Amino acid sequence: MNSGVIPISNLQLALSIILVIAAGAIAAGLRLGLLKPLLWGTVRTFVQLTFIGYVLKFVFTVNNLWLVFVMVVIMCFVAARASVGRTPHIPDYPAALAFWSLFTSTVLVGLIVVRVIISPDPWFSARIVIPIFGMILGNSMNGIALSLDRLYTEAYARSGEIESLLAFGATPWEAVRDCVKNAMRAGMTPTINSLMVVGLVSLPGMMTGQILGGADPHEAVRYQIVVMLMIAAAVAIGCLLLVGFSYKRLFTQDGALRLEIFKSRQ
């Protein structure tokens, strides 16, 4: 299958820097303040991907179940930290909640995909598991970040309504149900949108990669369909878990809204 890959030499790789330098020159000329982040981003891309290239080569060669498992855990950990990073001031270890939500949804959906649908031999084949789990994680990460942020924004904006419902004898769940609904929707919308326009607006990265790698487009499309659907499932499960875990933290043990968690916002 790899016969169709056209290799990129070191010289050719170096040539790609010229484009960034050109963009950097424009940024510097216009004083956009983007030159430093652009250069730093370029360096990081080179270093991180080169490093990951070696790691993947090693993991693929060893192809050990536990090694693959450790990789998945590390990936979940990094994704969890990134997903709560944009939503500040959430109390009580949000990264831990995000980790368990991501880990559960990714492993659940990922296992079904690699064991039942793709079923490579061995089933934990790193060459399949790592990229598949990585794609699920990348999308769930964005989904739960949006959901979590929305949950807190809504609860803050509607704290008057929530307290009013509580005052009438609502349970915490009854009081925040609308917020939870909107939070779920916010997390799921990008995924649903991408299900709608996939192939029409852009070719997904994985499919493009397979086609560049010389795969038959029909074959690439089949993989892509599996990937799209598993991403949708994983995002839904991840958001559901995280929002389900998180909404309780908006309330005290006495079922009152914790207004102090909103004080540091704005």
List of residues contacting other proteins (CB under 8 A): 160-161, 163-171, 174, 252, 254-257
CB 134 within 8 A of CB 120: no
Query: Is residue 139 within 8 Å of residue 235, measured between CB atoms?
Result: yes
212 or 259: whose CB is closer to other proteins?
Answer: 259
Query: Among residues 110 and 172, whose Cβ is nearest to other proteins?
Result: 172
Joined tokens for residue 29: 């000329």
Min dist. Cβ of residue 239 to other proteins (A): 23
Asked if 247 contacts 187 with a C-beta cutoff of 8 angstroms, the reply is no
Minimum CB distance to other proteins smaller for 92 or for 174: 174
Degrees, nearest 5: CA angle 41-187-37: 10
Q: Which is nearer to other proteins, 112 or 256 (CB)?
A: 256
In the complex, minimum distance from the CB of residue 251 to other proteins, in angstroms, rounded to a whole number:
9
Tokens of 135: 């794609």
Region of residue 214 (left: phi > 0; alpha: psi -120 to 50; beta: else): left
Q: How far is the CB of 137 from other proteins (least distance, A)?
A: 36
Question: Smallest gap, in angstroms, from Cβ of residue 161 to other proteins?
Answer: 4
